[in-house]
Amino acid sequence: MKKILSITIAVMSACTLSCKGGETLDITPRPREITLGSGSFNVKGAGFNYDASLEERTLNAVFKLADDISAACGKTCSVAAATGVDASTDIGRLKGIFLLKDESLAPENYVIETTKKGIKITAPDHNGFFYAIQTLRQILPVGNYAGKSAAGKWAVPCGTISDGPRFAYRGMHMDPCRHFWSVEETKKYIDVMALYKLNRLHWHLTEDQGWRIEIKKYPELTEIGAFRNGTMIGRDFSSNDGIRYGGFYTQEQIKEVVAYAWEKGITVIPEIDLPGHMVAALTTYPQLGCTGGPYEVWTLWGVSEDVLCVGKESTFAFLEGVLDEMCELFPSEYIHIGGDECPKVRWEKCPLCQARIKALGLKSDEKGTKEQKLQNYVTSRIQKYLEGKGRKIIGWDEILEGELAPGATVMSWRGADGGIEAANRGFDVIMTPNSHMYFDYYQSENGVEDGEPLGIGGFVSTEKVYSFDPMDKIAPEMQKHILGVQANLWTEYIATPEHLEYMLLPRMLALSEVQWCTPENRDFARFSAGLKSHQEKILELLGYNFRK
């Protein structure tokens, strides 16, 4: 009886601490399971021990953590290879901090077990360890991020954190075309994504207003297409500041960004937007258009009626030349081929495009016009070309209009309906609905009148982002097609890094919980409290401009 009573008390106290611990550890995105016991492990001066099988990029993150903690708490943490232990070693035998590979865990998952004597971190891969480190950083005093002397309790509470993502694709989009972002600014964007466990950067590299990627086969793309002769002023479409504006990334810089992101567990997915949004390329090579131009890199925002002429074989040769170099630069499984907002007015009048329609036997019917089907032909031809190189395509939800070949992934941006339809038709989907995931929209209902900087319109608050349910109206058997969620940040009205960060944050933190947490683990009140009490301090310390 006495034994039963003491077991009951022990269970009750573990539960109380678990619930209490869950409430007091402000970790974003919220881990799947936190169970706290009593006591803590002091990391000040603790030794880090790593599995010899860990990747070099994982070790880099471990060394950086040890260095930052050492600098912040004033006592050196050593780092050394672990000997005679592995993931199956009982935690009771571990003194210090151990990072041990456990391939039985699901991808990107991790477990942190803490006793008064040590911490055992297990994960199956780089991302799992990297995320365990991010979680530890959020538990420790904020000063650990700065790597300089900081006060605070350098303790990790005893217990277990068992964690992993809900979605495999956790993306954030970046638009360096409407306004250009330097390599350093891009890295700072990647840094904050990594902190909150995002793993895909969708890099939109070509547009009407500027071509941003060096292509060695077509050097004129960046000599001519990367610069425009002005930018419209405010929201006045009849205006132009007359100031030459532009920039591009050299291939060396692209490699640098890809490698930088990879260290932080982020895959960069490049986008070449085709067959619309191509005025910068048309300006460079007018023969790629239906009318032959002349064209001018756009100085206004909006959608141009001038698109690639897909009646010409030379257009496909050009696209293949660009894609060849993109595939060399980006090891990503996916290449984004755009496909959005492609007006068909030029194709309707172009003898070459019409000849192609005739040769292919395309006819208008209830599924779509013959010009829409011509876009399907372009999508499928580019898809086949990329599949030949072992890559898959992502396209904006317009690629779903008419017919779409199996194997394409649909990025649903005009609301979630395109994504729902795509999943029902058996396509993989990434949800980026403008109703919830457009970070170029205002963060306040009345926009400028509420003191917000000038923007494109709309209203997407942090709470609205947080409320998004990617599985809404998706039948259970189709849910496997929802690969994940991404937010898009178009930069027509965003010209400075301060403004860019202001639009990104804190909405990206809400996004991180939509991507990472199970529905049961999402709670906006808990998230907001943690944002105020903890996350804002981290963002401030790291020098981000965010909306308070």
| Neighbouring C-beta atoms of residue 265, cutoff 10 Å | 24
**What, of Zn ion, ligand ACM, none, does residue 413 touch, CB below 5 to 8 Å by kind?**
ligand ACM
Residue with tokens 């699901």: 106
Among 327, 352, 405, 542, binds Zn ion (CB under 5 A): 352
Residue 93, classed as helix, strand or coil, is helix
Question: Cβ distance 427 to 394 under 8 Å?
Answer: no
Site string for ligand ACM, 294-333 (x = CB under 6 A): ----------------------------------------
Distance of closest approach, residue 458 Cβ to ligand ACM, in angstroms: 11
Closest to ligand ACM by CB, 295 or 413? 413
Closest to ligand ACM by CB, 55 or 340? 340
Q: Considering only CA atoms, which of 490, 435, 504 is closest in space to residue 467?
A: 435
Residue 101, classed as helix, strand or coil, is strand
Distance of closest approach, residue 350 Cβ to ligand ACM, in angstroms: 23
353: contact with Zn ion by CB under 5 A: yes
d(CA 362, CA 380) in angstroms, rounded, equals 14
**What, of Zn ion, ligand ACM, none, does residue 396 touch, CB below 5 to 8 Å by kind?**
ligand ACM
Beta-carbon-side half-sphere exposure of residue 98 (alpha carbons within 13 Å)? 27
341: contact with ligand ACM by CB under 6 A: yes
**What, of ligand ACM, Zn ion, none, does residue 341 touch, CB below 5 to 8 Å by kind?**
ligand ACM
Instruction: Work out the angle at residue 144's Cα, subtended by the Cα atoms of residues 79 and 462, and round it to the nearest 5 degrees.
Output: 130
Q: How many residues make contact with Zn ion (CB under 5 A)?
A: 6
Distance of closest approach, residue 296 Cβ to Zn ion, in angstroms: 19
Distance of closest approach, residue 23 Cβ to ligand ACM, in angstroms: 39
Distance of closest approach, residue 321 Cβ to Zn ion, in angstroms: 19
Closest to ligand ACM by CB, 256 or 340? 340
Distance of closest approach, residue 257 Cβ to ligand ACM, in angstroms: 22
Question: Cβ distance 317 to 380 under 8 Å?
Answer: no
Residue 76 is which amino acid? T
37's enclosing H/E stretch is strand 33-42
**What, of ligand ACM, Zn ion, none, does residue 257 touch, CB below 5 to 8 Å by kind?**
none
**What, of ligand ACM, Zn ion, none, does residue 353 touch, CB below 5 to 8 Å by kind?**
Zn ion
Taking the CA atoms of the chain, what radius of gyration do you get in angstroms? 25
493: contact with ligand ACM by CB under 6 A: no
Residue 467, classed as helix, strand or coil, is coil
Distance of closest approach, residue 180 Cβ to ligand ACM, in angstroms: 19
For 143, 165, 169, the CA distances from 327, given in Å and listed in that order, are 40, 28, 20
Q: Encode 305-321: b = buried (16+ Cβ within 10 Å), e = exposed.
A: ebbbbbbbeebeebbbe
d(CA 384, CA 329) in angstroms, rounded, equals 19
**What, of ligand ACM, Zn ion, none, does residue 211 touch, CB below 5 to 8 Å by kind?**
none
Site residues for Zn ion, 332-351, by CB under 5 A, read 350
Among 29, 311, 338, 484, binds Zn ion (CB under 5 A): 311
**What, of Zn ion, ligand ACM, none, does residue 309 touch, CB below 5 to 8 Å by kind?**
Zn ion
Site residues for ligand ACM, 394-433, by CB under 6 A, read 396, 413
Among 72, 309, 329, 411, binds Zn ion (CB under 5 A): 309
Q: Which stretch binds Zn ion (CB under 5 A): 147-155, 205-213, 275-283, 311-319?
A: 311-319
Q: How many residues does the chain have?
A: 548
Among 340, 387, 403, 523, binds ligand ACM (CB under 6 A): 340
End-to-end C-alpha distance for the chain, whole angstroms: 55
In degrees rounded to 5, what are phi and psi of residue 312?
-100, 135
Q: Considering only CA atoms, which of 441, 470, 415, 426 is closest in space to residue 166?
A: 470
**What, of Zn ion, ligand ACM, none, does residue 311 touch, CB below 5 to 8 Å by kind?**
Zn ion
In degrees rounded to 5, what are phi and psi of residue 194?
-65, -35
Residue with tokens 């039948």: 475
Distance of closest approach, residue 300 Cβ to ligand ACM, in angstroms: 15
Distance of closest approach, residue 339 Cβ to ligand ACM, in angstroms: 9
Residue 299, classed as helix, strand or coil, is coil
Question: Cβ distance 283 to 293 under 8 Å?
Answer: yes
Site string for ligand ACM, 180-209 (x = CB under 6 A): ------------------------------
Closest to Zn ion by CB, 139 or 353? 353
- Range list of β-strands (E), 392-462: 392-396, 409-412, 428-431
Question: Cβ distance 493 to 456 under 8 Å?
Answer: yes
Among 290, 386, 431, 517, binds Zn ion (CB under 5 A): 290
Question: Cβ distance 68 to 144 under 8 Å?
Answer: yes
Closest to ligand ACM by CB, 63 or 301? 301
Q: Which stretch binds Zn ion (CB under 5 A): 29-37, 42-50, 278-286, 289-297?
A: 289-297
Question: Cβ distance 28 to 531 under 8 Å?
Answer: yes
Closest to Zn ion by CB, 353 or 423? 353
**Where do contacts with ligand ACM occur on this chain (CB under 6 A)?**
340-341, 396, 413
**Where do contacts with Zn ion occur on this chain (CB under 5 A)?**
290, 309, 311, 350, 352-353
